[in-house]
Each structure stands twice: as structure tokens, then as C-alpha cells.
Amino acid sequence: MLTIGQKAPDFTLFNTARKEVSLHDFQGKNLIILFFPMAFTSVCTAELCEMRDNISVYADLNAAVVGISVDSPFTLAKFKEDQQLPFDLLSDFNKEVSQAYDSYYKTFVMNLKGVSKRSAFVIDQNGVVQYAEVLESAGDIPSFQAIQETLKRL
């Protein structure tokens, strides 16, 4: 399990515009990483729209946001467009980053194999984990208040 003070695992994933996005692209900025199980599901939509509706709060705290799921870049592109999300959604189709961040269900609902667990991480400007919340229940949402409090301390 990732712990606070640990270096965040590096990653390079494709966004919805089919461009590579890496952890090191955010050097000098705080980064919120939200892993979510599946695009177009009710809880995932509510979570990401909550982030969308408060994006200025995070921008004021020098934080960028990315959402990561095992959905394809094409599915994520439609989801991003439909929900008007102002941040990148990244496809972990190969499931490597979800596993590196200990945010991975081997078996999910309906016997689906290899789905991202809902989780939230705050990575500081130097690539160090400052907040980590991995939820066992996909029906739960991360603590946005705790994320904001962590960012205020950075």
C-alpha cells in the first residue's frame, strides 16, 4: 500500500485526445489523482462532477486533476464530453498503474476482472504522496475536504 511520504509511482497513460500524459508532466504543481471504477456509472459521474464543479478551488491550491480508469480512451472521451470535465481522463487499459497505486479490484461486480478501485491521491510538486485514500466500497466517495486540507498545507 502506498503511504504518505513515499515517492509516487511514475506513469505514462493516454488521455482522451490520445496524447501521452506522465506523472513528471506535473512537476512543480500539486496533482490530485482520482482512480474510478467505470465511466458512465452513477457514483463515478457524481464524484467527477463534484471535482468539475469545484475545479477553481483546486486551481487556487496549485493543483491539477486527473481521473484514471481502465476504460478505453474512446469511452473516456465520450464520458469527458458528456460531463464537460475540465481535466484529463487517462486510460489505464492495461491495468498497470491501478495496480502500482494499490487501487485495483481483481474481481469487481458482475464478475468483471481488473477494475480500478475508487481512490484519491495528492502528489506534491516533488512527486511525493501527501494523501492516499483507497476505498474498498465502490459506492463510497473520497473525502474532498481532506484532499483540500492536504493541499492547503503544501
- The CA–CA distances, whole Å, from 94 to 2, 51, 108, 121 equal 20, 25, 16, 20
Q: Exposed/middle/buried for 95, CB within 10 Å: 0-12, 13-18, 19+?
A: middle
- The CA–CA distances, whole Å, from 50 to 10, 62, 63, 120, 143 equal 26, 18, 15, 13, 11
Q: How many CB atoms lie within 10 A of CB 112?
A: 12
Which residues have a catalytic role annotated?
44
